[in-house]
Amino acid sequence: MSLWSSAAESVSVHVVDRADPLTSVLDHPMVRSGDWWTAVIDAGAVGAGDLYGFRVVGPPAPGSSARFDPAKFLLDPDATQVWFPPAHDRDGARRRGADTQGRSPMGVLRRLDPLPRMPPGPRHASTDLIIYELHVRGCTQHAPHVPEQLRGTFAGLRHHVNHIAALGVTAVELLPIHQGDPAEGSYWGYMPLAWNALHGGYVAGDDPEREFCEMVQAFHDAGIEVLLDVVYNHTTEEDHLGPTYHLRGIDDAAYYVLNGDGAYNDDAGCGNVIRAAHHAAASLIMGSLRRYADLGIDGFRFDLGSLLGRDIDGNPQERSALIEEITTFAAMRGLRLITEPWDLTAYQLGDGFPGHTWAQWNGEFRDDVRSFVRAEQGFAAPVSQRVIGSPDLFGAEPHRSINFVTAHDGFTLYDLVSYESKHNEANGHDNADGTGDNRSWNCGWEGDDIHADSAGEVHALRSRQMRNLLSLLLLSRGVPMLLAGDEFAQTQGGNNNAYNQDNETAWLDWRRAEQFGDLTDFVRTLIALRRLGGDGPVSLFGVDGPPDLSFVSHSIAWAWGDLYVMANAWWEPLTFEVQCAGDWSVALTTGPAEVAFVDGCVAVDGRTTVVLRRA
């Protein structure tokens, strides 16, 4: 067994029997070699003990950044499985000097050889890539087609693969599946405890790795890549008031970015920031990436990825050794890399991020398309950049733009057209959490408590606006990402930050799949049409000539392969002249009225998108 700590004075490893977690079956001192502490333990000496942890003693340093506490029973940062004792106490782990053995998470000893590396999954061309972002638990917790005992688990998601494949998407992006602390209260999974351990709450049986790999294989068999959202920029230990579970008590200053006064940097907004430029932290991150790649993962989306590129003092930099190491590793293994290129203090969308080959979540696409569709002035010009692949951000590499209008954090598609303001009271923060910049429009009525006299008109307009947003998302160059549930108008009741809502608020409501089945069919049609765009460039047009990109314009048209798209965000009808030769026919409209293509022109209703296809 081994543990890295440059500042520790002594380290001991403890083996525990889960029948009596308060007592160590074995307490063994570890030997130092450089900054590594090691111990060799005879399996026969521990009997039925299959749990372990460390106690680390370091120099007392009042007022300094050292936070050693030998009373803490510390989790192995490399643990591949975690056990929580019945008396698990997150608050107890906050108290300095309080003994946490039997009250804090423990690693599970591996007694079996690891599974062999999974073979590579499918690798789609970037022009064929369509991502579907989902939460393992929330996706199937109420799914009637999944056996009840498997809902909300990896095994349950395996039963759900065919439903996802039927949409036509080619990749799923799983929200974080790192082991979290069940006492912390996070639902999304962005407060990781153990990077290498699969979250126990998502496991139906007693073999997490095998269950996970069987799920991945089911997606691969359906031709779907599996991408994983990973959180290496912070941990669940929070700030100086948070629990001491591992890194804080092992070598605080090596693993976390500390300010000059010893306080934690909080540019992640979660209490701490990992010092990713330090070799010890970088080694943990690379080890975790290798593990998930071995388990069949086809690519990674890095939460607050800008933080991983910072220097040893936590400052943004143009080049990063860790980013370069990840890039090389991914190239060798054929993995996709996607970053969220911002944090609380840095915005690196485009060339500002050190990984110049990585794809990026394009927040400009989200904001510009939302504003255009709700008919804000001044957004025809920005949207013209988005539909052609955001060359203002990514040059001639549209595949680096991950386009989205909704994601796990923010309004769902339905809520985007049903709520003018966020409604996050259930989160417990007096509605102060969550962004206020939603660029939403409720179509004349807040929420679903609509007066009977207005209900028909409001619902029809919302249906049209959802289709407009989906059309711009799926018929623009770049890689589209669809939020799970948007295909059947999932609602969170106006909550745009459901990070702690492990309940019906955030779980997909499959009753809506029947109610909004026509919307699901519309998404399938859009995905099929998208493939007619091919990998060629996009040409922009206006109503009857060059595109009108003026401040008062609310329309844009574009030709892409065998598609011709006309988007009228204005509330009055416009007649578009089709400016590309070809045998065109109407393929789709977001409006309720039939559309005719007569004498080379199409009358497009207000707040309507019409798509033509060429024979």
State how far the Cα of 339 lies from the Cα of 316, in Å rounded to an integer. Answer: 15
Q: Is 266 a catalytic residue?
A: no
In 171-256, beta strands by DSSP E: 171-174, 178-180, 192-198, 225-230
User: Does residue 511 fall inside a structural domain?
Assistant: yes
- Determine contact, residues 25/46, Cβ cutoff 8 Å: yes
Q: What kind and span of H or E run contains 221?
A: helix 208-221
pLDDT of residue 44: 87
Question: Does one domain contain both 65 and 131?
Answer: no
Q: 506 and 410, same structural domain?
A: yes
In a domain, 261, yes or no: no
Please tell me whether residues 433 and 359 are part of one structural domain: yes
* Residue that finishes a domain, picked among 530, 564, 591: 530
Specify whether 576 is located in the same domain as 526. Answer: no
Task: Given the residues 303, 343, 364, 562, select the one marked as catalytic.
Answer: 303
How far is it, in rounded angstroms, from Cα 485 to Cα 494? 15
Cα angle 564-565-569, degrees, rounded to a multiple of 5: 160
308 token code pair: 């991983």
Over residues 437-488, the pLDDT tens digits come to: 999 999 999 999 999 999 999 999 999 999 999 999 999 999 999 999 999 9
Domain count, the chain: 3
Continuous segment of H or E residues that includes residue 190: none
Residue 326 lies in a domain: no
- Which residue ranges of the chain lie beneath pLDDT 50? none
Where among 512, 530, 548 does a domain terminate? 530
511 phi/psi in degrees, rounded to 5: -65, -30
One domain for residues 503 and 383: yes
| 163 and 220 in a common domain | yes
Residue 381 sits in a domain of what CATH number? 3.20.20.80
How many Cα atoms sit within 13 Å of 408 on the Cβ side? Answer: 22
Range of the domain at 94: 2-108
Please report whether residue 398 resides in a domain.
yes
303 among known catalytic residues? yes
Out of 485, 512, 530, a domain closes at 530
272 within domain boundaries: no
Determine which one of 173, 238, 340, 548 is catalytic.
340
Is residue 390 within 8 Å of residue 398, measured between CB atoms? yes
Question: How far apart are alpha carbons 397 and 401 in whole angstroms?
Answer: 8
29: domain CATH number is 2.60.40.10
**Which amino acid is it at 89?**
D
Whether residue 544 sits in one domain with residue 495 = no
285, part of any domain: no
Q: Is residue 81 located within the same domain as residue 136?
A: no
| pLDDT of 569 | 98
Residues 401 and 489 in one domain: yes
DSSP for residue 424: -
Query: Is residue 35 domain-shared with residue 130, that is, in the same domain?
Result: no
Closest CA to 52 of 77, 31, 71: 77
Residue 331 lies in a domain: no
Q: Please report, for the domain that includes residue 585, its CATH number.
A: 2.60.40.1180
* Position 550 in a domain: yes
Which tokens go with 527?
Answer: 């995905």
Within 242-320, residue ranges assigned H as helices are 247-255, 279-294
Give the type of residue at 109: L
Same domain, yes or no, for 461 and 574? no
Both 609 and 543 in one domain: the answer is: yes
